[in-house]
Amino acid sequence: MIRFRGVTKSYGDTESAAVENLSLDIARGAITVFVGPSGCGKTTSLRMINRMVEPTSGTIHVDGKDAAGITPSALRRSMGYVMQSSGLLPHRSVLDNIATVPRLNGVPRKQARERAAELLDVVGLDPAMGKRYPAQLSGGQQQRVGVARALAADPPVLLMDEPFSAVDPVVRSELQQELLRLQRDLAKTIVFVTHDIDEATILGDKVAVFAVGGRLAQYDSPEGILRAPVDDFVAGFVGRDRGFRHLGFQPGAGVPVHPVQTLDPAELADPAVPVQGGWALAVDDGGRPLGWVPASSRETVTSPGQLVPGGSLHRRGESLRSALDAALSSPSGLGVVVDDNGAAAGIVRAGEIFELIEAARLRRGKALHGSAV
Ligand SMILES: Nc1ncnc2c1ncn2[C@@H]1O[C@H](COP(=O)(O)OP(=O)(O)OP(=O)(O)O)[C@@H](O)[C@H]1O
């Protein structure tokens, strides 16, 4: 556990503090995200944890010990640090970059390199990449190496400062999912800085929203922040579609899944096979969705290249947000549900999802106010 109590940081000549009277408990083994607009003190708060920045006043305790009484080098050995630019040393191979801290801690070279190769695998990189130099990797690969390097000494705490902000949205989403997967196995205490509220709610067990002037505006679960922002600043920062994003925390298990007519490649190729409702779903030999065949153009649509492209897919077990998005993004209005193998398992309808959302809202209203509102 990392405990901030009344922590203020002023950088000398500036009038207002970078961080103002911050009190916050960061749980062990969880991901805590610091989020907020530029300049609101997120990085400063993060860096005070490992004494890269010293507080002007207040205390930070790490596992019950005052950080001010622990030498910065000892603190940093117990905390991996990942930053936006991966911070890799350009003239060292990937393996040697990852092995840097263990080598400083006295681990023999061979052993440190072996461990580094294992870590490449842990962060989803081909161990053959170990021989490359950082400039020979993509931005996303460099960030993965940065994470591997931070994990190399197996520190209980990981400090991550906008680690995924320099990569494109697709790679960023992959890295986020990878971090969540890693965390399920590693259960580190992770403090993660971002200015992206979506990233914060995807990754965080708890989210600390900072306001300009280094003030902690709200500290809550992602769901709590989306459902009940404490003030106009947080509501504005969380964004206008927070109602929709909040659905990401509601399980989709109760959504009725209906059967859908599917056409395998042989059936698709045969125009004599009719489309029974308004639409049929073309699937590959493994049952995975390829696109839609409208009844109105059944005669002419006989190959995958002619299909009407489908919407997003709702994997069984995902949230109401994913179910609703599947239905709304589907040209047929039918949201395709897939099983763990990616095979079509049926469809969901937006109207029925709305009914569930409404029922949940009424239940919540009753629980909170004693009557439906
Ligand atoms: N070394 C420094 N010297 C003087 N002022 C600083 C220093 N580092 C940060 N500041 C100021 O402190 C405030 C908080 O900065 P900080 O980097 O912690 O914010 P941030 O929320 O992480 O911002 P960003 O999202 O832009 O990285 C800003 O006004 C910044 O200009």
pLDDT in tens, 300-344: 999 999 999 999 999 988 889 999 999 999 999 999 999 999 999
Amino acid at 47: R
pLDDT the model gives residue 286: 95
CA 44 to ligand 1: nearest atom = 18
Contacts of 115 (CB under 8 A, 6+ apart): 99, 102, 107, 152
Expressed in angstroms and rounded, the spacing between residue 156 Cα and the centre of ligand 1 is 26
The mean pLDDT of 51-61, rounded to a whole number, is: 95
pLDDT the model gives residue 93: 93
Nearest of 336, 332, 256, 335 to residue 289 by alpha carbon = 336
CA 19 to ligand 1: nearest atom = 14
Q: Taking the mean position of all CA atoms in its chain, how far away is CA 160?
A: 13
Expressed in angstroms and rounded, the spacing between residue 243 Cα and the centre of ligand 1 is 31
Instruction: Tell me which of 9, 22, 34, 42 to substitute to probe ligand 1's pocket, judged by most ligand atoms within 8 Å of the beta carbon.
Output: 42
Amino acid at 178: E
Expressed in angstroms and rounded, the spacing between residue 160 Cα and the centre of ligand 1 is 16
* Mean pLDDT of the chain, nearest integer: 90
18 CB within 6 A, ligand 1: yes
* Within-domain flag for 190: yes
Shared-domain flag, residues 8 and 122 = yes
* Within-domain flag for 6: yes
Domain that residue 314 falls in = 262-355
pLDDT the model gives residue 373: 45
161 CB within 6 A, ligand 1: no
Shared-domain flag, residues 54 and 110 = yes
pLDDT the model gives residue 369: 66
Outline where 187-303 has alpha helix (H). 197-203, 222-227, 232-238, 242-246, 265-269
Shared-domain flag, residues 233 and 317 = no
pLDDT the model gives residue 368: 65
CATH at residue 133: 3.40.50.300
The mean pLDDT of 281-308, rounded to a whole number, is: 95
Shared-domain flag, residues 92 and 214 = yes
252 CB within 6 A, ligand 1: no
pLDDT the model gives residue 372: 46
Residues 72/50, Cβ–Cβ less than 8 Å: yes
Shared-domain flag, residues 130 and 225 = yes
Q: Which residues pair with 24 in a beta bridge?
A: 4
Residue nearest to atom 17 of ligand 1 (CA): 43
pLDDT the model gives residue 243: 81
The mean pLDDT of 173-202, rounded to a whole number, is: 90
Shared-domain flag, residues 72 and 11 = yes
Give the whole-number percent of the chain exceeding pLDDT 90.
62
pLDDT at residue 278 tops 90: yes
Shared-domain flag, residues 270 and 231 = no
**What distances in angstroms separate CA 66 from CA 1, 43, 124, 195, one per listed residue?**
12, 20, 36, 29
The mean pLDDT of 25-41, rounded to a whole number, is: 94
Please count the structural domains in the chain.
2
Shared-domain flag, residues 101 and 9 = yes
Shared-domain flag, residues 204 and 273 = no
pLDDT tier at 370, thresholds 50, 70, 90: low
